[in-house]
């Protein structure tokens, strides 16, 4: 079967995102005038596109750095560490501007990513299933500590309001920091060839003359910056950084320079689609986008894990019987 060229996929992706963005502008609105359009509807749609594109690209970077297809910021403790840092800010200086909260959340995500990378290097076997499981356990421990501290300080409800992915509060003047996240994702596309080489492994990358530490630093900084900004502005978008890069990899392969535009478009399309579903399912009420994405992403995540597993029983059934076994079964 011949593969469709990446250019055709990009054209199809642009058309899909444009169609979904148009639907997002006008769906679920009783009365739409000029003020609502420019103060709420357009900022929300732009935020959906920017957040989806940037966060999907961070998943691609994470997968190349760890050399595992089943990791992303949400399954490696980055978002949990950003939530813990945000909780510390809410408890100490709650009146800090949104950009200040984003700085602290970025620092928390940075510490969380470095902690996961240090933990991943200690795993004796780079199993495609073991690494994400360790990441989920690592994030679960950080999340449990965050929840406990929030509960003891009566901050649990406020923390949940920040952590749940939701675009209903996006207004003009409150989402523009997402352009910084999009700029960080653009840096990833500029350095795509270096990330591709880094994905070959440390020894191979050094043999090709690549400064692996510098590339690792750039990648981790991009992941932390995007994660921290999204946690403050929109909340968590579960599994987005996992499913978008994996789908694109199956379509066009693993070359990052060709994959980045498609990953960004697919991430934006998934976020737009989930947001539309969340507004339609219980209209005129609205489901947070993290609920819709959690269901969709969880199903795809399980499908990816099960698709790579090799059942031992099936292998044993295919194994030819020896004469001794054949005699024993008679």
- Residue 1 belongs to some domain of the structure: no
Whose CA is closest to 98, among 233, 237, 235? 233
pLDDT above 60: residue 190: yes
Whose CA is closest to 139, among 91, 84, 68, 57? 84
pLDDT digits 0-9 by tens, 39-64 = 888 898 999 999 999 999 999 998 88
- Residue 205 belongs to some domain of the structure: yes
- Residue 108 belongs to some domain of the structure: yes
pLDDT digits 0-9 by tens, 6-51 = 788 888 889 999 999 998 888 766 666 677 778 888 898 999 999 9
The token duo for 180 is 């910084």
- Residue 292 belongs to some domain of the structure: yes
Q: Cα dihedral sign for 213, 241, 260, 43?
A: negative
- Residue 30 belongs to some domain of the structure: yes
Residues in the chain: 330
Cβ–Cβ under 8 Å, residues 247 and 266: yes
- Residue 299 belongs to some domain of the structure: yes
**What would the mean pLDDT of 140-148 be, rounded to a whole number?**
92
Write the CA distances from 116 to 103, 106, 142, 314, integer angstroms: 20, 15, 11, 34
Domain of residue 196, CATH code: 1.10.3470.10
**More confident call, 324 vs 161:** 161
- Residue 189 belongs to some domain of the structure: yes
Into how many domains does the chain fold? Answer: 1
Which structural domain, as residue segments, surrounds residue 208? 6-328
pLDDT above 50: residue 103: yes
Whose CA is closest to 64, among 210, 202, 270, 227? 202
């Amino acid at each position: 079967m011949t593969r469709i060229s990446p250019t055709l996929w990009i054209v199809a992706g642009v058309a899909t995102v444009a169609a979904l963005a148009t639907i997002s502008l006008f769906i679920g609105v009783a009365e739409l005038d000029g003020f609502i359009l420019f103060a709420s509807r357009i900022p929300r749609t732009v935020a959906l596109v920017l957040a989806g594109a940037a966060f999907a690209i961070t998943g691609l970077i994470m997968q190349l750095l760890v050399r595992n297809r089943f990791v992303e910021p949400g399954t490696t403790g980055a978002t949990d560490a950003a939530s813990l840092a945000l909780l510390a800010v809410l408890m100490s200086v709650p009146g800090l501007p949104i950009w200040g909260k984003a700085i602290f959340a970025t620092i928390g995500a940075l510490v969380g990513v470095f902690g996961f990378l240090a933990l991943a290097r200690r795993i004796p076997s780079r199993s495609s299933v073991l690494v994400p499981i360790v990441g989920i356990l690592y994030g679960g421990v950080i999340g449990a500590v965050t929840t406990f501290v929030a509960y003891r300080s009566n901050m649990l409800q406020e923390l949940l309001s920040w952590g749940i992915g939701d675009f209903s509060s996006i207004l003009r003047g409150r989402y523009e920091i997402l352009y910084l996240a999009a700029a960080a994702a653009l840096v990833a596309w500029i350095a795509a060839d270096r990330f591709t080489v880094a994905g070959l492994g440390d020894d191979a990358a050094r043999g090709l003359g690549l400064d692996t530490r510098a590339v690792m630093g750039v990648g981790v900084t991009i992941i932390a910056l995007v994660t921290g900004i999204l946690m403050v502005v929109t909340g968590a978008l579960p599994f987005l950084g996992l499913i978008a890069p994996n789908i694109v990899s199956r379509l066009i392969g693993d070359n990052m320079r060709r994959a980045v535009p498609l990953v960004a478009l697919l991430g934006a399309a998934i976020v737009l689609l989930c947001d539309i579903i969340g507004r339609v399912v219980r209209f005129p009420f609205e489901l947070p986008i993290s609920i819709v994405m959690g269901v969709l992403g969880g199903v795809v995540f399980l499908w990816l894990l099960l698709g790579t597993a090799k059942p031992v029983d099936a292998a044993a059934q295919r194994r030819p019987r020896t004469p001794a076994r054949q005699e024993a079964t008679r």
